[in-house]
Amino acid sequence: MSASLLEQLIEALKVLPGVGPKSAQRMAYHLLERERERGLQLAGVLAEALDRIGHCAQCRDFTEGEVCAICASASRDRQLLCVVESPADRLAIEQATGYRGVYFILQGRLSPLDGVGPRELGLDKLAERLAAGEVVEMIIATNPTVEGEATAHYLAQLARQHGVKPSRLAHGVPLGGELEYVDRGTLSHAFGTRSEMPL
């Protein structure tokens, strides 16, 4: 016996991150009870977005065109290339810093157990970009997870092979944080990667 439309809707909502069976059920009931018109709008926008949004030919970020706005901008410094795991990471850097270089979005991180290798991350395309000779420094901004660190080491080797200086985002004690409340792993990493204070 096939699932009812309501069951199919609940199952479909569970595809979203952090949405379990109960949350999906609440969302489905909310849409059907109170937000039918906006639910139809959501369905239309979602269908159009999935159809029209693809990946930038240069950086692999999401875009509706062949090239995203950042890659198309003449005001960005093409000698600086920041490599991030996801479009959300790129957005966080754009919003929190004055970075004016360009990006490369991996859309993941190396994870051989999950079948994610260099090819799946587009590292062949990244190598071509580095070989072109325009990039002077590659800022590696992968997350400080086991897979993120492995990816960072791989990226650093790739940069050096093409004569590009690799740099890594600093990780450690958060601004305004107190040492007694920082977890052991973060504190150990911060202590081990300490740097000399400028004058």
Tens digit of pLDDT for each residue in 117-152? 999 999 999 999 999 999 999 999 998 888 999 999
The confidence band for 60, taking pLDDT boundaries of 50, 70 and 90, is very high
The confidence band for 28, taking pLDDT boundaries of 50, 70 and 90, is very high
Residue 49 predicted with pLDDT over 90: yes
Segments making up each domain of the chain, as ranges:
5-52, 62-168
Given strand 165-168, what is the order of strands in its sheet?
A: 101-105, 77-84, 137-141, 165-168
CB 103 within 8 A of CB 59: yes
Mean pLDDT score, 56-65: 96
Which CATH number is correct for 5-52, 1.10.10.60, 1.10.8.420, 1.10.645.10, 2.40.30.10? 1.10.8.420
- Look at residue 183 in the predicted model and tell me its pLDDT: 79
- Look at residue 142 in the predicted model and tell me its pLDDT: 92
As a CATH number, domain 62-168 is 3.40.1360.10
Which tokens in the block code for residue 109?
């991180």
CB atoms within 10 A of CB 117: 12
Kindly write down the DSSP assignment for every residue of the chain, as one continuous string.
Answer: -PPPHHHHHHHHHTTSTT--HHHHHHHHHHHHHT-HHHHHHHHHHHHHHHHH-EE-TTT--EESSSS-HHHH-TTSEEEEEEEESSHHHHHHHHHHS---EEEEE-SS--BGGGTB-TTTTTHHHHHHHHHTT--SEEEEE--SSHHHHHHHHHHHHHHHHTT-EEEE---SSPTT--GGGS-HHHHHHHHHT--PPP-
180 or 23, higher pLDDT: 23
Q: What are phi and psi of 80, to 5 degrees?
A: -105, 120
Q: For a pLDDT cut of 90, what percent of the chain falls above it? A: 76
55 or 112, higher pLDDT: 55
The confidence band for 199, taking pLDDT boundaries of 50, 70 and 90, is low
Q: What is the pLDDT of residues 163-197, one digit of tens each?
A: 999 999 887 777 777 767 777 877 777 777 776 76
Which tokens in the block code for residue 161?
């092979």
Q: For a pLDDT cut of 70, what percent of the chain falls above it? A: 96
Nearest to 128 by CA among 156, 158, 107: 158
CB 121 within 8 A of CB 140: no
- Tell me how far apart the 2 most distant CA atoms of the chain are, in Å: 74
